[in-house]
Structures are given as structure tokens and as C-alpha cells.
């Protein structure tokens, strides 16, 4: 009888662990304004607000983890040396706009950034505090909803052997990829108009898909156990 009981439990647990693996690729224009999500026209301090940043619709799940491979180069003003996907060292603090946070203080300029957003109209929401990202070579990060975070090339080491993990906040329905820009990389957003070149990202989101059917199976399994237990008494 014990073997039978364990059999039920094993089946039920297996059904609740359907894994999620969402992958895709997108180009990220050097003018893709990471702060522009949720507002029709980001108000720049000058130099242009850029273009809409690409948005990925995330599959539903729990315990979701994002990994990214970022490439490409972007020049941030006419005649500037392009900056790679992993950015370069520079002190930057940029004020956000609308429902999206700013960034910084960070020791990086250029490179690929991301932000997780909930479903629906977020235009009336207040921006959260800037994400305190600290070290840019940590193994994992846990940004909140609408907190802009640095992704870079997605690796923590120069040899690009260790992929960083970005924990997807519960309630996130979308992932936006883009770039930051401001006069001298500090203050109000702006100066997207003179950017040229593109980044590109390959992204993967893993996790567990909650399945109503498996929850029913679990309930049926538990009920069966109760009945067997009662019958054996
Ligand atoms: Ca610029």
C-alpha cells in the first residue's frame, strides 16, 4: 500500500513541474529609449527622445530566470567611437520618466539595458526607485517591476563563460530592451537623436509553468490517498 501511495505522490509532483523555456532574438536600435515604455513621447532634455524600445511578451510562469547574450556596437554621438554591448566604465546617473525608473549611480555608460513591466496600461503609475545594481559582475540580479537594469553582454567574466541570471519579478508580463542616453550620461534623458548602430540580443527565459490541470490531478491524487487510508483502517 505504501508503494501505491508513493506512486500517486510522484505522478502528481511530476505534473506540477512543467518547465518553461522561452527563447528569441531581437535587434536593439542605438536609439531605442529604455525609459520610453508606457509614455507616448519621452520628454528629452534635448537632442531627441529616440525611438520605441523592442518589447518581448513573456510566457507566464513562476521562478522565471532570464539569460541574455548581447552583441553589437553603438556610437552615442556623431564621430564617437562605438561602445560595445557590455558598455564602458563611466560614472552615470540618469533620471527616469513616467512609470519607468532612472539608472544609477552606475559605473557604466553605453551597452544593453532591460526593464520588466507588468501587463496593462502603466502610464499613470509612479516610477520606483532606481535599481541598486551595485557590482556589474554579479552572478545574479533581482530587479523589480519598472526598474531599469544593466544587462551588457550578459556575462560576468571577460572570457564570457559565466552567464548572469536576471530573476524575473512575479507579475512581469513584458521585457523591454533598450539603451540609456543623456548629456554627458548624467541628468535628464535625451540626446538619442545622434546615436547610430545597433545592439542585438538572444534571450532565454526558464521557469515553471503553473498548470491548472496538474493542480486538479494533485487534488485527485490526494483524495485517492485519503480514501485508501480510510479503507485500510
Ligand atoms: Ca547621443
Alpha helices (H) along the chain: 2-15, 212-232
- Cell numbers found for residue 195: 546615436
Give the span between the Cα atoms of 9 and 15, in whole angstroms.
10
- Cell numbers found for residue 202: 538572444
Give the sign of the dihedral formed by CA 180, CA 109, CA 141, CA 125: negative
Distance 92 CA to ligand 1 centre (A): 14
- What is the CATH code for 19-209? 2.60.120.430
Distance 106 CA to ligand 1 centre (A): 18
State phi, psi for 77 to the nearest 5 degrees.
Answer: -160, 165
Give the span between the Cα atoms of 81 and 61, in whole angstroms.
41
Distance 223 CA to ligand 1 centre (A): 63
Distance 42 CA to ligand 1 centre (A): 15
| Residue 101 contacts residue 146 (beta carbons within 8 Å) | yes
Distance 119 CA to ligand 1 centre (A): 30
Distance 172 CA to ligand 1 centre (A): 29
Give the span between the Cα atoms of 150 and 197, in whole angstroms.
19
Give the span between the Cα atoms of 24 and 204, in whole angstroms.
7
Domain boundaries, the chain: 1-16+211-233, 19-209
Distance 38 CA to ligand 1 centre (A): 22
Q: For 128-164, what is the HEC assignment?
A: CCCCCCCCCCCCEECCCCCCCEECCCCECCCCCCCEC
pLDDT, residue 73, reads: 98
State phi, psi for 62 to the nearest 5 degrees.
Answer: -125, 155
Distance 28 CA to ligand 1 centre (A): 15
pLDDT, residue 3, reads: 47
Distance 145 CA to ligand 1 centre (A): 26
State phi, psi for 171 to the nearest 5 degrees.
Answer: 95, -10
Residues paired with 97 in a beta bridge: 100
| Residue 177 contacts residue 85 (beta carbons within 8 Å) | no
Distance 31 CA to ligand 1 centre (A): 8
pLDDT, residue 27, reads: 98
pLDDT, residue 224, reads: 57
Determine how many CB atoms are found less than 10 A away from the CB of residue 168: 22
Distances in Å between the Cα of 20 and the Cα atoms of 24, 65, 166, 204, 211 are 13, 10, 15, 10, 11
Distance 178 CA to ligand 1 centre (A): 13
Per-residue pLDDT of the chain (233 residues; tens, 9 = 90+): 444 454 554 445 445 578 999 999 999 999 999 999 998 777 889 999 999 999 999 999 999 999 999 999 999 999 999 999 999 999 999 999 899 999 999 999 999 999 999 999 999 999 999 999 989 999 999 999 999 999 999 999 999 999 999 999 999 999 999 999 999 999 999 999 999 999 999 999 999 987 766 555 555 555 555 566 555 55
Q: What is the pTM for the complete model shown?
A: 0.84
For the chain, how are helix, strand and coil distributed in percent, rounded to 5? 15, 35, 45
Give the span between the Cα atoms of 217 and 9, in whole angstroms.
10
Give the span between the Cα atoms of 103 and 95, in whole angstroms.
7
pLDDT, residue 1, reads: 43
Distance 180 CA to ligand 1 centre (A): 9
pLDDT, residue 227, reads: 62
pLDDT, residue 101, reads: 97
pLDDT digits (tens, 9 = 90+) for 112-167: 999 999 999 999 999 999 999 989 999 999 999 999 999 999 999 999 999 999 99
Q: Kindly report the length of the chain.
A: 233
Distance 146 CA to ligand 1 centre (A): 23
Amino acid at each position: 500500500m505504501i508503494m501505491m501511495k508513493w506512486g500517486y505522490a510522484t505522478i502528481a509532483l511530476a505534473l506540477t513541474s512543467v518547465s518553461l523555456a522561452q527563447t528569441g532574438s531581437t535587434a536593439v536600435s542605438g536609439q531605442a529609449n529604455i525609459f520610453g515604455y508606457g509614455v507616448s513621447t519621452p520628454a528629452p532634455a534635448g537632442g531627441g527622445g529616440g525611438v520605441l524600445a523592442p518589447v518581448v511578451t513573456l510566457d507566464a510562469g513562476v521562478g522565471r530566470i532570464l539569460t541574455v547574450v548581447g552583441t553589437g556596437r553603438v556610437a552615442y554621438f556623431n564621430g564617437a567611437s562605438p561602445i560595445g554591448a557590455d558598455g564602458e566604465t563611466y560614472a552615470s546617473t540618469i533620471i527616469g520618466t513616467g512609470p519607468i525608473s532612472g539608472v544609477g549611480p552606475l559605473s557604466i555608460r553605453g551597452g544593453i539595458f532591460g526593464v520588466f513591466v507588468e501587463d496593462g496600461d502603466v502610464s499613470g503609475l509612479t516610477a520606483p526607485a532606481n535599481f541598486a545594481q551595485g557590482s556589474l559582475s554579479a552572478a545574479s540580479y533581482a530587479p523589480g517591476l519598472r526598474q531599469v537594469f544593466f544587462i551588457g553582454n550578459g556575462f560576468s567574466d571577460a572570457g564570457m563563460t559565466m552567464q548572469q541570471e536576471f530573476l524575473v519579478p512575479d507579475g512581469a508580463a513584458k521585457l523591454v530592451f533598450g539603451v540609456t542616453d543623456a548629456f554627458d550620461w548624467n541628468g535628464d534623458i535625451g540626446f538619442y537623436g545622434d546615436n547610430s548602430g545597433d545592439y542585438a540580443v538572444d534571450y532565454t527565459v526558464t521557469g515553471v509553468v503553473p498548470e491548472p490541470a496538474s493542480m486538479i490531478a494533485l487534488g485527485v491524487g490526494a483524495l485517492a490517498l485519503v480514501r485508501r487510508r480510510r479503507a485500510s483502517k
